[in-house]
Amino acid sequence: MTELLQCLAVQRRFGDFVATKGIDLSVRRGEIVGIIGANGAGKTTLLNIVSGYLKPTAGRVMFRGVDVTGLPPRALVRQGIARSFQVPQLFGSCTALENMMIAQSLLVEPRSSLRRRFSDKALIDQAQRVLGAYGIAEHAGAVVANIPQGVRKLLDIAMATCASPDLVLLDEPTSGVSADEKDGLVSRLIGRFGGTSCAVVFIEHDMDIVRDYASRVIALYDGQIIADGDVGDVFNNSDVARFITGAVDAARSEDRHASD
Amino acid sequence: MSRRRVDWTTVALIAIAIVATLSASAVPNWIRYLGQQAVSTALASVGVMVLLRAGLLSFGQGLFYFVGGFAVALLNRYAAISDAFVIVVVSAASAGLMAAALGAFLAGYRGIFFSMLTLAVSMVMFGIAIKVRLFGGSDGLNIGLMSYFGYRPRGSEGQWFSFVFCIWTWTAFAIATNIFLGSRFGRLVQAVADNELRVEFLGYSVKKVVYVAYVVAGILAGVGGAMAGLSARHVDAQFAYWTTAGDFIFVVLLSGQASVISPAVGAFALEALRSYASALFPDQWQSVFGGIMLAIVLFLPAGLDRLAVLAWRRAQNLRFRRGRLSAQESRL
């Protein structure tokens, strides 16, 4: 079974508005899928459905061949679907280290260990190691409300993925990160998850990042998939150029300038 | 086996209990009684503190205070059980069961809805208690003398025993709560207040955390009520009235939430204030309450224990600086 994730005619309606109009897609192990699309195209809704945050109004979601439609996030997390957020979701009153420790006590350690002491040497060391692996160990002692956005973003992802999940969903991992930090952040993530049996699905607005790191691109427009395939194919697709990347408009305006 | 760090809260709690036990016979009766009232209120307030850590304000902890207190009275009256240890265990269990039943319904609510529902349930209990013969109506029920492992002290000796028993019960439950809050699960209580979404996306049920916090708070209030009952040797419906729960909230606001010991300070202040202020200015004592509340909120919103935390940090800073100085000296 190579299909890790399958969405079958997934639809989500908010009142009269249909955010995703019957999306079919499948993701295999080892793939790094970039999702692109304009605001309101349904990218985050799709991620919300797959991660269990929203229930689809129609359609089914299969994970490892099992129907997981409508399961709550916590059940899906335990089955190996990790998810990060566009706006980092952290424990604001705790330090970065404590955030990581809480994440590990829930995801990595067995349930029975919740009875053990929180400030336990092994747990601290383990959390410190993960922070180090993401290059944010220097912020370990800082309360997360006071650390830079890029670090918060990394911490959010580090917490979500600390249990070596099978499917990693990243909602705009580079939004709010300064331009010169973006590459480092994504290459660190791809370095960690790429080339493993794990699949990564990420939503991204920076087309250079998508071109450089994705092995496959899915383009969404108005709640539907308009292109799905190799990076080159999708970017050369005329619909994608017209609706998302804006390449045609740019070319046209250049023509106009040339004829002036 | 790695060596465990000394837990200063536990050490302090045991030290307080030992000092209180040793000095118990040296202080007058009324101070001991004040102490008993204070630890009863303090333990229920520790429960309020646990819920506040989860971001929930309960106006209904008086309900469990009532359950604990009446468990003592009813056992004593109808089952002729007077052993203080048995009675406290049964009170804790009844309050815990009550909280377990109500929690299943309340753990889904947050904010003002949670506060108002806890208040409502508690007031329903008050309404029932004041009408029902079993609970003694508005007069309440008297409680006989307690015995301790078969020994039943009388008179001032009985008073000494009941004081020491209350102090150690408070200590034991405060230590247990401290261990609970210091555990990985206990840390989730605070995590829920910080970010529920993240807890769910780390694979854990927020509702379960809130539920357990609610049951723990219920047990603590139940034991508090039992101690209040066996100290005063009387319980009445007023235990379930919302102002009882208001006292616990007042105590937590006054004393802060830095440690499980903190509420004892606030509770002692509250009981002292209640007895002094009502003697000195019988008609205005509640405005004294209001004034103190206002001062705390304006000048020390984190509560009195903030002062202790600041002093502790300062001491550690000094020690650190002195350490660095001596290191420099030795280098020179």
DSSP B214-236: HHHHHHHHHHHHHHHHHHHTEE-
Distance, in angstroms, between B183 CA and closest chain A CA? Answer: 4
The answer on A139 and A28 residing in a single domain is no
B2 pLDDT exceeds 50? no
Distance, in angstroms, between A108 CA and closest chain B CA? Answer: 10
Which of B53, B198, B199 to mutate against chain A (most A CBs within 10 Å)? B198
The answer on A136 and A64 residing in a single domain is no
The answer on A64 and A179 residing in a single domain is yes
The answer on A65 and A146 residing in a single domain is no
- Per-residue pLDDT band for B190 (boundaries 50, 70, 90) equals very high
Yes or no: say if B49 and B257 are a contact pair by the CB < 8 Å rule. Answer: yes
User: What is the pLDDT at residue B95?
Assistant: 96
Total domains present in chain A: 2
- Nearest-CB residue to A118 (from B183, B197, B202): B183
Least confident of B154-158, B191-195, B240-244: B154-158
More confident residue, A184 or B88: B88
The answer on A53 and A25 residing in a single domain is yes
More confident residue, B212 or B307: B212
The answer on A93 and A29 residing in a single domain is no
User: What is the pLDDT at residue A249?
Assistant: 52
User: What is the pLDDT at residue A260?
Assistant: 45
In a domain, B219, yes or no: yes
Burial of residue A197 (number of CB atoms within 10 Å: 0-12, 13-18, 19+): exposed
- Per-residue pLDDT band for B329 (boundaries 50, 70, 90) equals low
In a domain, B16, yes or no: no
Report the first-to-last Cα separation within chain A, whole angstroms. Answer: 58
B214 pLDDT exceeds 60? yes
Is the minimum CB–CB distance between A127 and chain B shorter than 8 Å? no
Q: Residue B31 belongs to a domain with what CATH number?
A: 1.10.3470
Distance, in angstroms, between A89 CA and closest chain B CA? Answer: 6
User: What is the pLDDT at residue A258?
Assistant: 47
User: What is the pLDDT at residue A247?
Assistant: 61
ipTM: 0.89
User: What is the pLDDT at residue B8?
Assistant: 87
Give the pLDDT mean for B137-165.
88
The answer on A249 and A189 residing in a single domain is yes
Give CA torsion, residues A123, A125, A131, A132, to 10 deg.
-160
Is the minimum CB–CB distance between A143 and chain B shorter than 8 Å? no
Read off the pLDDT of residues A122-162 as tens digits, 9 standing for 90 and up: 999 999 999 998 888 999 999 998 898 888 988 999 999 88
Task: Return the number of CB contacts < 8 Å for A and B.
Answer: 80
B204 pLDDT exceeds 80? yes
Q: Residue A55 belongs to a domain with what CATH number?
A: 3.40.50.300
A252 pLDDT exceeds 60? no
Which residue of chain A has the CA closest to B53?
A93
A16 pLDDT exceeds 90? no
Q: Do B186 and A94 touch (CB under 8 A)?
A: no
A111 pLDDT exceeds 50? yes
Read off the pLDDT of residues B229-257 as tens digits, 9 standing for 90 and up: 999 999 999 999 999 999 999 999 999 88
Q: Do A90 and B195 touch (CB under 8 A)?
A: yes
Give the pLDDT mean for B297-316.
86
Which residue of chain A has the CA closest to B187?
A118
Read off the pLDDT of residues A191-200 as tens digits, 9 standing for 90 and up: 888 777 889 9
- Per-residue pLDDT band for A251 (boundaries 50, 70, 90) equals very low
Give CA torsion, residues A19, A22, A28, A29, to 10 deg.
40
Q: Which of B242, B207, B228 is nearest to B121 (CA)?
A: B242
The answer on A117 and A21 residing in a single domain is no
- Per-residue pLDDT band for A226 (boundaries 50, 70, 90) equals confident
* 186-215 in chain B: CB under 8 A from chain A: 186-188, 190-191, 193-195, 197-205
> Which residue in the block uniquely carries the two structure tokens 């109808």?
B78
By residue range, what is the domain housing residue A159?
87-164
In a domain, B263, yes or no: yes
Three-state SS for B109?
A: coil
- Per-residue pLDDT band for B330 (boundaries 50, 70, 90) equals low
- Per-residue pLDDT band for A81 (boundaries 50, 70, 90) equals very high
Which of A54, A91, A123 to mutate against chain B (most B CBs within 10 Å)? A91
By residue range, what is the domain housing residue B168?
27-273
Q: Which of A71, A54, A14, A199 is nearest to A62 (CA)?
A: A71
The answer on A180 and A218 residing in a single domain is yes
What b/e sequence results for A22-54 when a residue is b if at least 16 CB atoms lie within 10 Å of its CB, and e otherwise? bbebebebbbbbbbbbeeebbbbbbbbbbbbbb
Q: Which two tokens stand for residue B217?
A: 């708070």
User: What is the pLDDT at residue B53?
Assistant: 93
Is the minimum CB–CB distance between A145 and chain B shorter than 8 Å? no
Domain boundary among A147, A164, A181: A164
Q: Do A114 and B182 touch (CB under 8 A)?
A: no
Note the pTM of the prediction, 2 decimals.
0.90
The answer on A144 and A72 residing in a single domain is no
The answer on A60 and A110 residing in a single domain is no
Domain boundary among A130, A145, A164: A164
In a domain, B307, yes or no: no
Yes or no: say if B58 and B245 are a contact pair by the CB < 8 Å rule. Answer: yes
Residue A117: Cβ within 10 Å count: 17
Domain boundary among A164, A198, A224: A164
Read off the pLDDT of residues B27-74 as tens digits, 9 standing for 90 and up: 888 889 999 999 999 999 999 999 999 999 999 999 999 999 999 999
A250 pLDDT exceeds 80? no
Distance CA A202, CA B46 (A): 45
Contacts 24+ apart (CB under 8 A), B3-12: B5/A119, B7/B178, B7/B182, B9/B175, B9/B178, B9/B259, B9/B260, B9/B261, B10/B175, B10/B178, B12/B261
Up-side HSE of residue B14: CA atoms within 13 Å toward CB?
7
Average pLDDT in chain A: 86
Total domains present in chain B: 1
Read off the pLDDT of residues B94-129 as tens digits, 9 standing for 90 and up: 999 999 999 999 999 999 999 999 999 999 999 999
The answer on A29 and A113 residing in a single domain is no
User: What is the pLDDT at residue A259?
Assistant: 46
The strand pair at A199-203 and A167-171 is best described as: parallel
Q: Which two tokens stand for residue B120?
A: 């409502």
- Per-residue pLDDT band for B196 (boundaries 50, 70, 90) equals very high
- Nearest-CB residue to B203 (from A74, A89, A93): A74
User: What is the pLDDT at residue B301?
Assistant: 86
